[in-house]
Structure 1
Amino acid sequence: MTDDDLRATMMNLSACTLPTEDRPTRLGEFEDFFARSVDAVARPLPTRLELRLRAGGDAEVVGRDLAARESACCSFFTFSFTPSAAGLVMGIEVPAAHLDVLDALDGRARAAIEGADR
């Protein structure tokens, strides 16, 4: 899946009630969050994405804010925040019918982290 494919998936999501004109801004917020606040990405299940948040700073506050706003417009998402030995993990789960959305977020998170490491 190319970067354009990932963006198209996120922009054309019919199960989301966020107005179409606001979606690029929201996607940009997630990409900024991934680059500034996420240390690692894991996919323990096809329907679950885990983001290990950076310690200190505002990673948890920003993550919780994004999760709350995204849950309000895309009710198929389930977000969780779980402490682990490696740090706080933000979990994002979707039903199997929305794997393409989780795949897109996974790709965007990995790309943002790789770009932030350069």
Structure 2
Amino acid sequence: MSDHAITTDDAWVPDACTLPTVERPLRLAEFDQFFAAAVRGVDRPSAQHLRLRLDGAAQVEETARDLTAREASCCSFFAFDLSRSGPEALALDVRVPAAHVDVLDALAERAVSVRDRG
């Protein structure tokens, strides 16, 4: 995804998002910080499913729960599931309906881009 595609204008953010426009850059910055600090790997099991492999620290889990709860409250099309398969194995699964695959594509590309820069 190019930086142009990451903007928070109406061309990128779906109509279903209810986060006030002025708050969108702040939320994007929170996700960037999270991606840079916590993402260890990105998998795409299907077009509608993204899996982020995360650092297993307790603080990462707490941040992920807080951030995804707030995001789900304004963008109800996201389904987030945080799971642990071991003490150091934390995964964040993100699912969207077919109508929002483009948003999931942008999220996946953003996570990879920010993680690689960090």
Taking structure 2 as the reference length, what is the TM-score of the superposition? 0.90
Counterpart AA for 1:6: I
1:81 offset after TM fit, Å? 1.1
Corresponding position of 1:65 = 66
Counterpart AA for 2:5: D
Deviating above 6 A after TM superposition, structure 1's stretches of 4 or more consecutive aligned residues are none
Corresponding position of 1:76 = 77
Q: Percent identity?
A: 46
Corresponding position of 1:94 = 96
Counterpart AA for 1:50: R
> Whose helix fraction is larger, Structure 1's or Structure 2's?
1
Q: After superposition, what is the alpha-carbon deviation per residue over 1:10-58, rounded to whole angstroms, capped at 9, x for unaligned?
A: 8532110000111011011001100001111111111011111102251
Gaps of 5+ in 2: none
3-state SS in 1 of match to 2:14: coil
Alignment length (residue pairs): 116
Corresponding position of 2:2 = 2
Gaps of 5+ in 1: none
Q: After superposition, what is the alpha-carbon deviation per residue over 1:58-117, rounded to whole angstroms, capped at 9, x for unaligned?
A: 11110010110011101100000122367110011000100111011101100011011x
Equivalent residues of 1:6, 1:107 under 8 A apart: no
RMSD: 1.8
In structure 2, C-alpha distance between the alignment counterparts of 1:4 and 1:16, rounded to whole Å: 19
Taking structure 1 as the reference length, what is the TM-score of the superposition? 0.90
